Structure 1
Amino acid sequence: MPTIYGLDMFHFAEVIQDDEKDLIFGKPERLPGAVSVKVDPKSEQTKFWADNGVFDNFNSMGDIDFEAEMADMPLDIQNKIYGRQVENGVSFASSDDQPIYLAFGFRSKISTGGYRYYWFLKGLPELLGNEAKTKEEKVDPQSIKFKVGFQQLQNPKGKNRWHSVAEDTDTFNGEGWFDQVVYDGLPFAANTGSKATDLGK
């Protein structure tokens, strides 16, 4: 049985449009310095009672809390994600800022070889916090915690999906996973070649 370990290749992409008319993502961009990821999907279970017992169960999806810890988030990427205004090289955060909806991807190693790949498909980031402390005798680097609330896609092409995952096998090749946001598996079909391109077109 394989074991999952390691983490790298943080990527994000803007959700440019997700409504009844179309589903469009921007080109993924790399976020270096992956440290950890935590995903906490909330769901509520309703029991239906009949014949003096539980006859059926129904799950309803709630919030999907996501936290990515990274070495740092470059200022130009912060400006893009949070919609900040830049004046003469100075970045200003204000109550008028409009954060973008985004997708977030990464990969982990598999002990049997290859990687397991992930995309979380549509989320709105929370405001970014700051932590810092004075330099001591022993260096203690500070990291960034990036929190996002994810939801399901709205356009019919998205099929109400909120998450995609795949891993390297004899029949799947993850090359090209980070070239686009993967919300449809069709480009990875065997007759399309080993690299997925032009997803959704």
Structure 2
Amino acid sequence: MKENKYPMLMPLNIQTFAENKVRYGVKNVHFAPITETGGVITFGTPIKFPGAVSLTLEPLGETTPFYADDSAYYVSVSNNGYEGTYEVAEIPLEFRTKILGDDLSEDGILTETTTAKPKQFAMMFEFDGDVKATRHVLYNCTAARPSQGSETKGESIEPGTSELSFTASPNADGVVKRSTTATTTDEIYNAWYTKVFEPTVVPTP
């Protein structure tokens, strides 16, 4: 009998776990700055990104058919990550300075320049469900400058929002995103926002 090299990854009886039937809401958005030293990626401590209104992810990739015998003989599908949009009540100052590259002077003035160099970051968030919220992490995100706007105040106040467009690309190892499931241990689930999740054991293909 072949020895199991990855005892942590033994098959689970999924039928014993209650899975979500629906998905709704978005909350607990965090970002973690990325630093790279000598080709080694390090994730900073996750920072709260409050005020979530909506978050959408559109897949990036191509479907390429190969035709033979007068039909689509083989179809290849590439995964290039996601294009995302995060609508938020307001962009936090920490995100503007640590990720977008805006300058904050000693007199409290925020300056946006053409020479700013946005930094990569990991993004963490959760979608609620009828059983338990599903938590996600995107490992390699790059954000564009957010859109901004507001309207004159009428009889009622309608707060303006900002839209942050970002790209979630695959890591060097091909990983784009990880998510919790009904089978995720409490230890991992409860610590999801304390640091960017990186598995201790990863099986080779």
The TM-score bracket by the shorter chain reads 0.7 to 0.9
Q: Deviations over 1:95-125 (max 9, x none)?
A: 11111101111012220x2210111111111
Larger radius of gyration: 2
Letter of the 2:199 counterpart:
D
Q: TM-score, with normalisation over the residues of structure 2?
A: 0.80
Partner of 2:148: 130
Q: Aligned Cα RMSD in Å?
A: 2.1
Tell me the SS of whatever aligns to 1:80.
Answer: helix
Pair 52,152 (structure 1): closer, same or farther in 2 beyond 3 Å? same
Q: Point out where structure 1 has 5 or more consecutive residues left out of the alignment.
A: 188-201
Structure 2 counterpart of 1:165: 179
Change (3 A) 1:86 1:132: same
Once the two structures are TM-superposed, the CA of residue 53 in structure 1 deviates from its matched residue by 2.4
The 2-side partners of 1:13 and 1:163 are apart by 14
Verify: 1:44 aligned to 2:62, yes or no: yes
The residue number in structure 1 matching 2:72 is 54
Aligned to 1:141: 159
Matched, 1:97 2:112: no
**1:60-97 CA distances to partner (integer Å, 9 max, x unpaired)?**
23462111111112223312221122222101110111
1:182 aligns with 2:197: yes
**Aligned CA distance change for structure 1 residues 185 and 35 (closer, same or farther; 3 Å):** farther
Are 1:14 and 1:26, in contact at CA under 8 Å, matched by a contact in 2? yes
The amino acid that maps onto 2:34 is V
**How far does residue 18 in structure 1 lie from its aligned partner after superposition?**
7.9
Q: Deviations over 1:142-199 (max 9, x none)?
A: 1121111121112xxxx211111113x3553211111122243649xxxxxxxxxxxx
Please tell me whether residue 31 in structure 1 is matched to residue 49 in structure 2: yes
Equivalent-residue separation in structure 1 for 2:55 and 2:90 (angstroms):
14
Which residue of 1 is the match for residue 15 of structure 2? none
Contact kept? 2:46, 2:193, Cα under 8 Å: yes
Q: Distance in 2 between matches of 1:166 and 1:183?
A: 12
2:10 corresponds in structure 1 to none
What is the number of residues matched between the two proteins? 180
- Distance in 1 (CA, whole Å) between partners of 2:115 and 2:185 is 44
Q: Do the aligned partners of 2:80 and 2:170 also contact (CA within 8 Å) in 1?
A: no
**Distance in 2 separating the partners of 1:49 and 1:18:** 45
1:83 aligns with 2:101: yes
- The AA in structure 2 aligned to 1:172 is T
Change in CA separation of 1:129 and 1:52 when aligned onto 2, cut-off 3 Å: closer
> Residue type matched to 1:184 in 2?
P
Segments ≥4 residues shifted beyond 4 Å: none
TM-score by length of 1: 0.81
Once the 2 structures are TM-superposed, how far is the Cα of residue 10 of structure 1 from its aligned partner? Answer: 0.5
1:7, 1:186 → 2: CA distance?
Answer: 29
Q: Which moved more, 1:139-148 or 1:52-61?
A: 52-61
Cα displacement (A) at 1:48: 1.6
- More strand as a share of residues: 1
User: Structure 2 CA distance, aligned partners of 1:18 and 1:148?
Assistant: 23
The verdict on how the C-alpha distance between 1:178 and 1:96 changes in structure 2, with shifts beyond 3 A counting, is: same
Identity between Structure 1 and Structure 2 (%):
21
